Amino acid sequence: MTLRPIVTLPEPILRRKAKPITTFDKDLQILIDDMIETMRDAPGVGLAAPQINISQQLAIIEYTEDEESEEEAEAQGVPPKPKKLYVIINPEIIKVSEEKVSGVEGCLSIPGLIGDVERHEAIQVKALNRHGNPVKIKVNGWMARIFQHEIDHLHGVLFTDHATRVWKPAPDEEAPLD
Ligand code: NI
């Protein structure tokens, strides 16, 4: 596996709508595995193909629903809840909750800025998995936020486009990056 360089603003590919994927070959599997390694190395909770300079409808997401329980598990010496890894190809949001929630987001492609962003609390997504099989995924909370952030990347949209407020984080201020 290979780490792929992450591109940042003002790289124009970040503003382009990515192309749908139609071929599920060995090269795609290598690309997906490289993206997983690159996301974990960053570290980030998600990564979209345009962020590694590939304008294709592919994103990966890996997040533990509950960071607190992860810390607690560590304190008690028991294994933490496994992180959930999603690979989504040609994703489409097919349902959204009326409820929206505000949360703080950052982006691996916009270093040094975080912002308040309003997102649907829950969404349903139709996509293809890494083998080209159709899947439907229901997510809520932070997972739903990350999905919306990644799917935006595939349409050339960045969190700063929706943010109600954007600022430079203080040294102790953290936001998940994706
Ligand atoms: Ni991002």
How far apart are the CA of 68 and the centre of ligand 1, in A?
23
Asked if 126 and 69 count as a contact pair (C-beta separation under 8 A), the reply is: no
Where in the sequence numbering do the catalytic residues fall?
150
Domains of the chain: 12-167 (3.90.45.10)
Residues 26-59: tens digit of each pLDDT:
999 999 999 999 999 999 999 999 999 999 999 9
Task: Give residue 159 CA to ligand 1 midpoint distance, Å.
Answer: 7
Question: What is the CA(153)–ligand 1 centre distance, in A?
Answer: 7
pTM here is 0.92
From residue 85, give the alpha-carbon distance in Å to each of 14, 15, 64, 130, 171: 23, 26, 9, 12, 29
pLDDT of residue 66 exceeding 70: no
